[in-house]
Amino acid sequence: MIFKASYLISILHISDLHRSPSEPVNNDSLIAALVADGDRYLGETPRVPPPCGIIVSGDIIQGARIGADGWREEMVSQYVTAKDFLCKLADRFLEGDRSQVVLIPGNHDVCWNTSRSAMEKAQTNEIGNDIPSLIEQRGSRYRWSWKDQSAYKITDNTLYLRKLDAYWEFVSDFYSGFSFPLPIDRARGFQLFELHKNSVLVAAFDSTYGNDCFGYSGDIEPGVVGRCSLAIRDLPRAYELKAAVWHHSIEGPPMRQDYMDVIHVKEMAGLGFQIGFHGHQHIGATQTRSVHLNEEHAMAVVSAGSLCAGARELPRGINRQYNMVVIEDDFRTSRVHAREMGEGGQFSRKTNGEFLTGYARVSWRAQENLGGQTVKPDEENTRRVILRAEELLKAGMAKCALGELMAIDITRSAYAKRLACDAALEAKEWETLKLLLSETASDEEVVWLIIASIETRDLAHAADLIKTHTELAKPVVQQLNDRLALAKMKAGK
């Protein structure tokens, strides 16, 4: 049985692991620096507990230049290095449980050589005069190259869709042997992860739709956020917190185009996501995005700086960074602790900007149902389990029903306890029945406990229970004594 206690949830949020060729960082040195910083933040005030999960918000590798010799082998080699790092990170912080590591691709994971091979220069007579509108249209097959001042067209869509092959091969290898709420599916546009004993659901969105060697903006394929929300509704349990992850930043300078339209985040907020994580901009930050329906639905958004980028890729005055995101036990507020690399390649508190005290606070609305009432996941999960258990019992699957019920805190529902006792009796799971009846609330439960004690050969206890519970009806006592006598005879007592 699960008994809920007050706790803080801490998530290690890293991003942009691409290694600059001019400033490579060694895996062992990086792991050592993260572990050493763990010693530091565990002793800080306010408290930062060790992480229960790791979110990696894209750009796992640097990638390979177009036309570079051996670019395939180079990308595979970079993913081997990334896997070694992430496996060691999971071993150190999560006891090797890679199902608690959330991965998504970033623009650096998109193979430029593959996407370029799927394109040809567009003919002048097919592009017309209004090139910007042709290129900017969502889902357009046309791209513009500033380098050679030419328009390109995607002519081999099958090849184009293989631009993340190396990433997905890496993901398949990394997660081999681990299970998830839904199987990993590269074509779905999102993956689902459960963190911290299934209390937190994380939806990882691929924001590289349309991203390639000439198209730099982030985008999520139309319909993906909605399909994800529907898939979550169909899951067998409710969650204390619904989080989203994507790679691209959601704002940028006027002349830049490598960020994602904030409309996606507003859709997430409207569908009940409460906190979002991203990378790409190479600096840690927090903000709140809202959508107004009948009332304001606010979603906290947290970005992590780059863990591995070099000085040429980092914003001026910014060092390598990562976040520790501490979620309070009300599941409505969080502290984002930004950690920054300093002397000796070591991390410590970032103490400037919005992280002047080493952390920033963010908050969001509690989950609500259509009636505007606050959703209580524990109560909802109990209700769902009871319904499933009832169906299993009707189908003669008592043991399965008992397994479902024992996974929740049945002390919250007298009916759930009664249903579990019925299932244990039918399945003849006597030890479990004794556990359920450690505290009896009726004569019937006392009788069940006596029967369970007899069946488990705890005969002295059974006899004591019969003797002390004088309120039991005489015919019932006689039947129990007869059963006890038969058990003693079989036991040779």
Compute CA distances 341 → 16, 81, 92, 446, whole Å.
Answer: 15, 21, 19, 63
The DSSP-derived string for 440-467 is --SHHHHHHHHHHHHHTT-HHHHHHHHH
- Is it the case that residue 2 has pLDDT exceeding 60? no
d(CA 429, CA 455): 10
Q: What angle do CA 220, 222, 226 make, to 5 degrees?
A: 95
Q: What angle do CA 465, 470, 474 make, to 5 degrees?
A: 105
Is the separation of the CB atoms in 435 and 410 below 8 Å? no
Comparing CA positions, the residue from 289, 367, 364, 277 lying closest to residue 322 is 277
- Is it the case that residue 3 has pLDDT exceeding 60? no
Residue-wise pLDDT tens digits, 11-47: 999 999 999 888 889 999 999 999 999 999 998 999 8
Q: Give the other-Cβ count within 10 Å of 257's Cβ.
A: 12
Which pLDDT score, from 0 to 100, does residue 493 have?
60
- Is it the case that residue 468 has pLDDT exceeding 60? yes
d(CA 358, CA 362): 14
Provide φ and ψ at 143, rounded to 5°. Answer: -135, 160
Q: Say whether 105 sits in a helix, a strand or coil.
A: coil
d(CA 50, CA 326): 10
- Is it the case that residue 210 has pLDDT exceeding 60? yes
d(CA 489, CA 469): 23
Residue type, 398: A
Structure tokens at 25: 């960082």
Comparing CA positions, the residue from 212, 251, 259 lying closest to residue 108 is 212
Which pLDDT score, from 0 to 100, does residue 294 have?
62
Is the separation of the CB atoms in 209 and 219 below 8 Å? yes
d(CA 308, CA 21): 11
If you average pLDDT over residues 376-380, what whole number do you get? 80
- The model carries a pTM of 0.85
In sign, the C-alpha dihedral spanning 64, 66, 71, 76 is: positive
Which pLDDT score, from 0 to 100, does residue 6 have?
45
If you average pLDDT over residues 229-256, what whole number do you get? 92
Q: Report all structural domains of the chain as residue ranges with CATH numbers, in order of start.
A: 9-118+157-363 (3.60.21.10), 122-155 (no CATH), 377-491 (1.25.40.10)
Which region among 73-87, 144-158, 243-257, 291-305 has the lowest average model confidence (pLDDT)? 291-305
pLDDT band at 379 (very low <50, low <70, confident <90, very high): confident
Which pLDDT score, from 0 to 100, does residue 254 have?
80
d(CA 16, CA 248): 10
Which pLDDT score, from 0 to 100, does residue 203 have?
98
d(CA 433, CA 160): 59
Which pLDDT score, from 0 to 100, does residue 5 have?
40
Q: What angle do CA 402, 406, 407 make, to 5 degrees?
A: 120
Which pLDDT score, from 0 to 100, does residue 298 have?
84
In sign, the C-alpha dihedral spanning 34, 331, 196, 207 is: negative
d(CA 399, CA 385): 14
d(CA 140, CA 390): 51
Residue type, 144: W
Residue-wise pLDDT tens digits, 141-158: 999 999 988 999 999 999
Comparing CA positions, the residue from 23, 26, 35, 22 lying closest to residue 322 is 35
